[in-house]
Structure 1
Amino acid sequence: MKLAPAFLSRAGWHVDEAAQLEALEGVLLQVWAEGCRPWPDIPLSQAAFVASLATHTPSPSVRTGIAGVFAQLTPGDLYLACACAGGIPAALAAFERRYIASIPATLGHMKLTESVLDDVRQQVREHLLVRTNRPPRISEYSGRSPLANWLRVVSVRTALSMLRTAREEDATGDEAILESLPASVGDPETEAIQRRYEGEFRQAMEDAFAALSSKPRYLLRLHFVDRLSTTKIGALFNVNQSTASRWLQSAQQDVHDETRRLLKERLDLSSQDFTSVLRSVESQLDLSLSRILTEA
């Protein structure tokens, strides 16, 4: 028995019973075998693999038990990531072939130029594989979801960050997103109200969008800027389509509610006048958010 003691020393678990130690040893041997099976040409040591596994494995609960802790693991992906973190050439070459080369297909919906795709690939390589004063970021991969999904999220974030940086050369941050208001719907009364309170509406929507936390802001960008369906957004976050749809609806509703609240707080109007203003802007909130984010 050698894997269990090495694992326990890293994981910080307390397992004293001989039966539990034997069970843990058996599970670790199985995970090791499953991990190296897809990569027979990548010479990763058991010690390195077990150390990585221990870093990312939570302590077992009474309900899950030792075996349950490893139930959601993808051993082959963790093996490759661990070998890449160790700088093993065969692993880096395999990661390049299987994952880096697939980035253009992953980002196909974004309609990026080849030069931009090259920059994305290079930034992903540097972000995940280059060792600086800390271990490569790929060592943070836990193996709890497929490596392809994890890399997809990293690639999309990298591409969006690059696009955002390019936009900021001509505009300042998220304020540029809220520069434009939607075209009027043609009703003279609505147009008059929108013209009169255009500045207040723009400021309220800007503040409402800025008040969002990073996750809903990211969801809205994925949906309105990158035209990702809720099915694809769900795949990025490893959740089903209904969950992604619920997240997106919640983010939109938060912007809507905060915009209404700020308008009511800031406009010194009678109840009747405010109702007219609110009716005018409410009919435009979804269109406003869509157009604002798309035109950013």
Structure 2
Amino acid sequence: MSKERQTDSLTGLLKEALPAERHAELEAVEGLEELLRRHLEEARTQWPTSHLSDETFLRHLASQLPAGKVSEVLCVVQAADLYLACACSTGEPSALAAFERHILRHIPARLGRLSPSVVEEVLQVLRERLLVARGNTPPKIASYGGRGPLLTWVGIVAARIAGELVGRDERLQLVAEPPEELARLLAPDDPEYALLREDARQLLVESLRKAVAVLPEQERALLRLHHFHGFTMDRLTLMYGGSRSGVARRVADARKLLLEHVRMELAPRLKQDRLALESLLGLVSSRLDISLQGLLD
């Protein structure tokens, strides 16, 4: 047992984990010993079956304290979540079980409209990516910094994985969605759509399917992720990189291209009924506008 531990000093343990030149930052934190004790009590109350030593947790906490922001981070850190992540990174069985029960089980609801088989694949990749060490590199969950909820952080990683899987798996192309699903999502509870004759509805659905089929893969993926899987602009930006406005423009351009293809599909079949053509195009356009409005604000 270390000398610091003998004096029951959590501050001492934290200092041991930081370079000497950074000790002044700790000394500037008012009530540090009590703050660390509260963090540990909170963590152990929430995860009573996980047994992590003070030294192990405080060493992990020290690794997440950026220079110049020690006081700020210590005051806002999600101590219980950081404790669980640290325990998981060591492979502690009860922590891994708690991670499954309290974190992973909530992830499917955050993935949008994915098939059960794809959700299961996302979860499996997520487990491997977060919980499995690679050579001398610790599990990725060790990089969680505790400055936001662990569930949110894991959800972002899961969304990226879902995007990777959906983007490369042609079985999930938008054209594979049932015609009823296409129509329902483009015109939910729309009285104008409800008034369409059955033959007009079918024509609309067929035209949409053909139009989507000829879209380039990137545009098809963007529309699929947003319209069918419910990915927000923030989630798309995390997946594709760049700025939020830049990704929004790409989604808007994909929408325009889709509408152009829909017009090309409908025009030859409705050349004698211009009013019907414009009505169907207006319906598709208005529903897409409403759906995209949240992205483009």
Deviation, structure 1 residue 18:
10
| 1:248 counterpart (228, 244, 249) | 244
Deviation, structure 1 residue 121:
1.0
> Which ranges of structure 2 fall in alignment gaps of 5 or more residues?
174-215, 254-284, 293-297
CA RMSD of aligned residues (A): 3.8
Say whether the 8 Å CA contact 1:77–1:147 is kept in structure 2. yes
Say whether the 8 Å CA contact 2:29–2:71 is kept in structure 1. no
Matched with 1:6 is 13
Matched with 1:70 is 74
Matched with 1:32 is 40
Deviation, structure 1 residue 164:
1.7
In 1, Cα distance between the equivalents of 2:138 and 2:26? 35
- Structure 2 residue matching 1:15: 3-state secondary structure: helix
Map 1:145-294 → 2, pairs under 5 A = 145-167=148-170, 223=226, 226-230=229-233, 233=234, 248-253=244-249
Say whether the 8 Å CA contact 1:220–1:248 is kept in structure 2. no
Aligned-residue sequence identity (percent) comes to 33
In 2, Cα distance between the equivalents of 1:248 and 1:36? 39
| 1:122 counterpart (121, 124, 129) | 124
Say whether the 8 Å CA contact 2:166–2:172 is kept in structure 1. no
In 1, Cα distance between the equivalents of 2:153 and 2:167? 21
Matched with 2:60 is 52
User: CA separation of 1:39/1:255 partners in 2, compared to 1, >3 Å: closer, same or farther?
Assistant: closer
What letter corresponds to residue 49 of structure 2 in structure 1?
D
What letter corresponds to residue 91 of structure 1 in structure 2?
A
In 1, Cα distance between the equivalents of 2:223 and 2:147? 26
In 1, Cα distance between the equivalents of 2:106 and 2:25? 46
How does the TM-score come out when normalised to structure 2?
0.56
Matched with 1:87 is 91
- Structure 2 residue matching 1:110: 3-state secondary structure: coil
What letter corresponds to residue 117 of structure 1 in structure 2?
V
User: CA separation of 1:137/1:220 partners in 2, compared to 1, >3 Å: closer, same or farther?
Assistant: farther
Say whether the 8 Å CA contact 1:11–1:57 is kept in structure 2. no
Say whether the 8 Å CA contact 1:60–1:69 is kept in structure 2. no
Say whether the 8 Å CA contact 1:85–1:129 is kept in structure 2. yes
In 1, Cα distance between the equivalents of 2:39 and 2:53? 13
User: CA separation of 1:225/1:169 partners in 2, compared to 1, >3 Å: closer, same or farther?
Assistant: closer
4+ aligned runs moved over 4 Å, structure 1: 16-22, 218-222, 253-257
How does the TM-score come out when normalised to structure 1?
0.56
Aligned length: 200
Say whether the 8 Å CA contact 1:59–1:69 is kept in structure 2. no
